[in-house]
Amino acid sequence: MRRKRRTTPRTTRVLGALLLVAVGSLTVGAAPAPAGATPLDQVIPAPTKVTPGGSPYRITTKTRIGVDGSREVRRVGEYLAGVLRPSTGYRLPVRAGHGGDIQLRLAKGPFGAEGYRLDSGAKGVTITAARPAGLFHGVQTLRQLLPAKVEKDTVQSGPWLVAGGAVTDSPRYGWRGAMLDVSRHFFTVDQVKRYIDQLALYKVNKLHLHLSDDQGWRLAIDSWPRLTTHGGSTQVGGGPGGFYTKDDYREIVRYATSRYLEVVPEIDMPGHTNAALASYADLNCDGVAPPLYTGTDVGFSSLCVGKDRTYDFVDDVIRELAALTPGRYLHIGGDEAHSTSHEDYVTFMDRVQPIVAKYGKTVMGWHQLTGATPAKGAVAQYWGLDDTSAEEKAQVAKAAQNGTGVVLSPADRVYLDMKYTADTPLGQDWAGLVEVRRSYDWDPGDYLPGVPGSAVRGVEAPLWTETIVTSADLEYMAFPRLAGVAELGWSSAATHDWERYKVRLAAQAERWEALGISYYQSPQVPW
């Protein structure tokens, strides 16, 4: 896969009036919302069940946010207040107890780990969940039910209406991810935080960070300091690169956790390792360190599988990374190891997977891992195409039938770095052109033949950054496609209907404008 250098980025602003209609796809006979209130079924991802009716609730200067006594629920309440205060100008005090006009409460019920119920009426709004994550997701629904200008950071005029009725909601899949490649081009802690906030709005719950590649090593490892001081000193095109200190990484994890996203770190190996090989000569079979690499070719690098020193290195890296990462998974890459023989690849994975388990983590890898023997409980991330060979798909299916989980990231569907059209100024086209409808119009549940539905953990939208330099670049390629991938992961298959979805998607444009998100104005969407 030969990648192209970037061209001038473009920020698209919405033109024309927004089309605001009730979708009616979730509840038969759904009534329209009162004037000035967003219909309950207008949100993305589509909720499981919507029952509209009754008077709307109006947020006013007297509105209070009531929370249960737990620290986590209070944090969700403070988060909600932090979203609403700048634009409404209201105090919105957060108080323990059940006296709030907007009430966040934990209760037993059929919510699961992330589900919630939102009830709205003239007297107030109550969000109920079994766990704080469900309350947080319910808050995201509440945000979308308010006018888009609620996202602005200056005081706006009301009214601030929430349509009357009830939303009962829970996710289809437990894995709803987005991957950010910080190796090809480096993104700062603040830039990653900005992306986390955007992911949270659509109930994404996994942030996969691609921390190492040929062009740069981005996380400080105390026992191998040259990985960052030398290997992290550049990026595609020869820029200055950069890296995260351990405290930087901890801050990303902390911030993601506060938005109920689990960080899944990736150290790609045995290929995609030139930055490491350039940093330490003894990781090379010939003992000679190659120069740093700033191009975009792939498949030319490999750790020396036959050296014990290689596994000392891997052990140290995984040990230090696992200690920093509270999440369950550690991604070991495994793709495009073209300069590693199949025999060596299998040998490498057989030695590395037990190291991951040794430090208390579960193995995740790109789907080429299924060409070896995936560890018990491992998760394979499929990034092939619709027309990937039947043999390769069958290999993944066989592993899935034997207990390996599968996360779906088909490159010609959800790789966010693929160009929308031939004229897209950013991105690549090796997997084809991926317009908004194509990224949405497929079903993860039956995408790979032979993969049991029970093996599908969910979906993830990767964003590789060979051509992505700024946050505006990132947003332009992620939006609007990211919202659709989030819906595929959250909403039941019965709600997936392009004609209805594109209307709900169009209604998101004003919100992105208010948030300052650069996005692609697809002609497929009735903006």
| pLDDT top residue among 369 and 5 | 369
- Say yes or no to pLDDT of 35 above 90: no
- What mean pLDDT comes out for the span 254-267? 98
pLDDT beyond 80 at 54: yes
Note the pLDDT of residue 9.
38
Q: What is the pLDDT of residue 33?
A: 61
pLDDT of residue 94: 97
pLDDT of 75 over the 60 cut: yes
pLDDT for res 100 = 81
Check pLDDT > 60 for residue 188.
Answer: yes
Question: 3-state class of 102 per DSSP?
Answer: strand
Contact 321, 330 (CB under 8 A): yes
pLDDT for 36 equals: 73
Is it the case that residue 30 has pLDDT exceeding 80? no
Residue 97's pLDDT is: 86
Tell me the C-alpha distance between 449 and 429, whole Å: 25
- What backbone torsions phi and psi does residue 373 show, to the nearest 5 degrees? -120, 100
Q: Is the pLDDT of residue 31 over 60?
A: no
Q: Is the pLDDT of residue 152 over 90?
A: yes
From 114, 336, 435, 475, the catalytic residue: 336
Nearest alpha carbon to residue 439 among 369, 511, 505: 505
Q: Answer yes or no: is pLDDT of 22 > 80.
A: no
pLDDT of residue 11: 40
Structure tokens at 51: 């029952």
Q: How far apart are CA 372 and CA 399, in angstroms?
A: 10
Query: Helices 308-324 and 246-258, interaxial angle, to 10°?
Result: 50
Q: In percent, how much of the chain has pLDDT > 90?
A: 92
Are residues 302 and 294 in contact, defined by beta-carbon separation less than 8 angstroms? no
Q: What share of the chain is helix, strand, coil (3-state, %, to 5)?
A: 35, 15, 50
User: Has 336 been annotated as catalytic?
Assistant: yes
- pLDDT band of residue 32 (cuts 50, 70, 90) is low
> For position 98, what pLDDT does the model report?
76
Question: Do 325 and 253 form a contact (C-beta atoms < 8 A)?
Answer: yes
**Measured distance CA(490)–CA(43) in Å, rounded:** 12
pLDDT at 34: 66
Of 39-48, 92-101, 114-123, 484-493, the poorest mean pLDDT is in 92-101
Burial class for 17, CB neighbours closer than 10 Å (0-12, 13-18, 19+)? exposed
137: tokens are 């997701």
Quote the mean pLDDT of the chain.
Answer: 94
| Structure-token pair, residue 41 | 């079924």
- Is residue 8's pLDDT more than 60? no
User: Which amino acid is located at 131 in the chain?
Assistant: R
Residue 43: how many CA atoms within 13 Å on its side-chain side?
30
pLDDT average, residue stretch 449-467: 98
For the segment 387-422, what is each residue's pLDDT rounded down to a tens digit?
A: 999 999 999 999 999 999 999 999 999 999 999 999
For residue 275, pLDDT over 80 is answered with yes
* Mean pLDDT computed over 211-217: 98
Report residue 32 CA to chain centroid gap.
Answer: 32
User: What is residue 457's predicted lDDT score, i.e. its pLDDT?
Assistant: 98
| 10 pLDDT tier (thresholds 50, 70, 90) | very low
Q: Residue 99 — pLDDT band, cuts 50, 70, 90?
A: confident
